[in-house]
Structure 1
Amino acid sequence: MTGAVMTGTSTSATGVRVKLPAHLRKLAGIDGEVRLDVPAPVTQRSVLDALEARHPVLRGTIRDRTTLRRRAFVRFFACEEDLSHEEPDAPLPAEVAAGKEPFLVVGAMAGG
């Protein structure tokens, strides 16, 4: 992604906060949440592009490598809302863009 500056795992008070499930944090060698500086408008696509640019090992784990569509058993949440079926270029809530609320990537549960 051009124009984005990624700060990685920092304790800075600015930037989009991304929380990943434990298995993806381990895969990427991330300790805690990821903070990314993402230019406006902050969308699912821009956040995931910045995340994958910072941690290339995550490419193909959250989104399909070719279509860039969300994987079937991955869900996105923010501000207590399920954003999984929102358009990838729809702006995320202002609280997420400001770093006040995290963008959550969650592995969906399946089975019976």
Structure 2
Amino acid sequence: MTATIRVVLPTHLRNLARLDGEVVLDVDSADGSATVGEVLDALEARYPVLRGTIRHHGTLRRRAFVRYFACEQDLSHDPPDTPLPAPVASGAEPLLVIGAMAVG
């Protein structure tokens, strides 16, 4: 089953991938409820230049200063196979990839 997912990237990643606005991805999922991991796999497959910018190359773990939000929920510390909220899986709401800021 395919889910159409909207993804909003921070400006520096949009510039790197030469994108204007949000990305719309068709994500293959067994049950139609895509996961963050599946979305990032699809994003990196379509835009290889983003590999290693959101997740580490070898481990595929989220980089320290990157966060994922969906429906006002921080999904950054959830396992990558956690299903996205229904409004994101249906394309009604976007998955936000945010560059966190360090304060010090």
Give the TM-score, by structure 2 length. 0.92
Structure 1 stretches of at least 4 aligned residues deviating more than 4 Å after TM superposition = none
Out of 10, 13, 37, the residue aligned to residue 24 of structure 1 is 13
Shift of 1:110: 0.3
Residue aligning to 1:62 = 54
Q: Going by fraction, where is strand more abundant, 1 or 2?
A: 2
Residue aligning to 2:27 = 38
1:97 and 2:89 aligned:
yes
Residue aligning to 2:72 = 80
Give the TM-score, by structure 1 length. 0.86
Shift of 1:29: 0.4
Kindly report the root-mean-square deviation, in angstroms, between the aligned alpha carbons of the 2 structures.
1.5
Instruction: Give the count of matched residue pairs.
Output: 101
Matches of 1:96 and 1:37 in 2, distance apart?
A: 12
Q: Look up the SS of the partner of 1:51 in the other structure.
A: helix
1:108 and 2:100 aligned:
yes
Identity of aligned residues (%): 67
One-letter code aligned to 1:27: L
